[in-house]
Amino acid sequence: MSQDLNTQLNELLEKAFAAGTEQYHELGFKRRVGYGSRPAIIHIDMANAWTREGHAFTCENMDTIIPACQALNDAAREKGIPVIYTTTAYDITDRSKASDMGLWSSKIPVELLAEGLDAVKIDDRIAPEPGELVITKKRASAFPGTNLQQFLTVNRIDTVIITGVTAAGCVRHTVEDAIAEGFRPIVVREAVGDRVAGTVAWNLFDIDSKFGDVEPLSNVLDYLNNLPKFSETTTP
């Protein structure tokens, strides 16, 4: 998409969101779920297939998203707050055989996401540190079929700070499942990406209206920096 068309689209979206925000407020939507006292960071699919150039799954704006994730990691690790990563990978990528890709391979080229490939490894610019959880998922959301909910529950997490890709897919579905399971979803505006113009803006507006709080990086960092050490906190 040309720069002129992208500018026009952004202007139209801003007008639509302004009107939509007013309407939603009148209807009682766009309330705030707020921050809790024991957060975890969850980076959704920040693996090379999505963060590096030249892949079918490559997403835009990594020059903004990667530094935002780095800043969140630094703040979280300083307080001992858990940092969690997900990637999406499959053991059987031959579409002629029974496979763990399911019907998703009928829609998108998940056969390119074979377990063990460099493409499905977390981007080394935000590499997990020893002891940090890396979850391999098969679906859009990070919850079904994984141990994420168990990890959050056992460690008394009440807030999930979510970054990653894509806004329309895996980020959105993770947010929807998080609030459904009783965790407060906070989506970091500068740390979410996608591929098609307008997709991030629309999905962040809709998430903020119905499923979680979309917050600027500065607010989230202030929240993290003002928390006590994770080991010293308790749930309400």
Residue 11 — very low, low, confident or very high, per pLDDT cuts 50/70/90?
confident
Q: What does the block give as tokens for 28?
A: 């009682």
Residues identified as active-site? 170
Which residues, listed in sequence order, are joined to residue 215 by a DSSP beta bridge? Answer: 188
| Token pair 């490939």: residue | 117
Tokens 């080991």 label which residue? 231
Pure H helices in 144-216: 148-154, 170-180, 199-210
Handedness of CA 151, 141, 160, 118 (dihedral sign): positive
Q: Which two tokens stand for residue 108?
A: 């998108």
Mean pLDDT of the chain: 95
- Section 79-98 average pLDDT: 96
pLDDT at 64: 98
Q: What is the per-residue pLDDT for 2?
A: 67
pLDDT value, residue 13:
83
Tokens 């006590």, located at residue: 228
Average the pLDDT over each of 56-65, 130-139, 196-205 and give the range with the smallest value: 196-205
Do β-strands 83-88 and 134-137 pair in parallel, antiparallel, or remain unpaired?
parallel
Confidence of residue 233 (pLDDT cuts 50, 70, 90): confident
- pTM of the prediction? 0.94
The residue that leads in pLDDT, 153 or 10, is 153
Name 165's bridge partners.
193
- Tens digit of each residue's pLDDT (9 = 90 or more) over 103-142: 999 999 999 999 999 999 999 999 999 999 999 999 999 9
pLDDT of 1: 59
Q: Residue 197 — very low, low, confident or very high, per pLDDT cuts 50/70/90?
A: confident
Judge contact between 113 and 136, C-beta under 8 A: no
Bond preceding residue 87 cis, omega within 30 of 0: no
Helices and strands, number each (H, E), in the chain: 7, 6
Question: Regarding predicted confidence, which is higher, 22 or 108?
Answer: 108
Look at residue 67 and tell me whether its pLDDT is greater than 90.
Answer: yes
pLDDT at residue 200 greater than cutoff 80: yes
134 vs 188: CA distance, rounded Å: 20
Is the pLDDT reported for residue 25 higher than 80? yes
Residue 9: pLDDT over 80: yes
Confidence of residue 235 (pLDDT cuts 50, 70, 90): low
